[in-house]
Homo-oligomer: A and B are copies of this chain.
Amino acid sequence: MQGLHLTADLHHCSCASAWLLDAPLLGVACRDAVQAAGLQAVGELFHAFPATAHGPGGVTATILLAESHLCVHTWPEQRAVTLDVYVCNFGADHSAKAQALLDGLVALFMPGHTEQHSVQRGSLR
């Protein structure tokens, strides 16, 4: 269960609005990014939220990985996105692949400002 959890909070995203609004389209991008990073998808779940008085609804894309999970939440009214990539290192160290996946998705959304955190998971101290 030992592994690496990367989070990124993206602000001022200047990507095409479709990436923030279109769940199936974002799903394809997530699937492609997982594959490009060399990680293995085992399940996926996409959800589009209804519009509110604040503007169009965001989307959530989750891909379960053999190595753990990817979660993307978009906030189109704020041009903002949160990313989570968690990989366990069962069998091999997947940290570099996790970073590659995160970097690929950050590039997709073209944020003006990014806040990143990294948490080592599962170590007994």
Do A1 and B62 form a contact, CB below 8 Å, given A73-B68, A125-B115? Answer: no
Q: Report how far A47 CA is from B43 CA in the complex, Å.
A: 7
- Residue among B66, B71, B84, B122 making CB contact with A49, cutoff 8 Å: B66
For the complex formed, measure the closest distance between the CB of A77 and the CB atoms of chain B, giving whole angstroms: 10
Q: Report how far A45 CA is from B115 CA in the complex, Å.
A: 28
Q: Report how far A57 CA is from B7 CA in the complex, Å.
A: 26
A-B contact pairs, 28 of them (CB 8 A): A1-B9, A1-B73, A1-B78, A1-B80, A1-B82, A9-B122, A11-B124, A42-B60, A45-B45, A49-B66, A60-B64, A60-B68, A62-B62, A68-B73, A69-B73, A71-B86, A73-B86, A75-B90, A80-B122, A82-B86, A82-B121, A82-B122, A84-B86, A115-B122, A115-B123, A115-B124, A115-B125, A117-B119
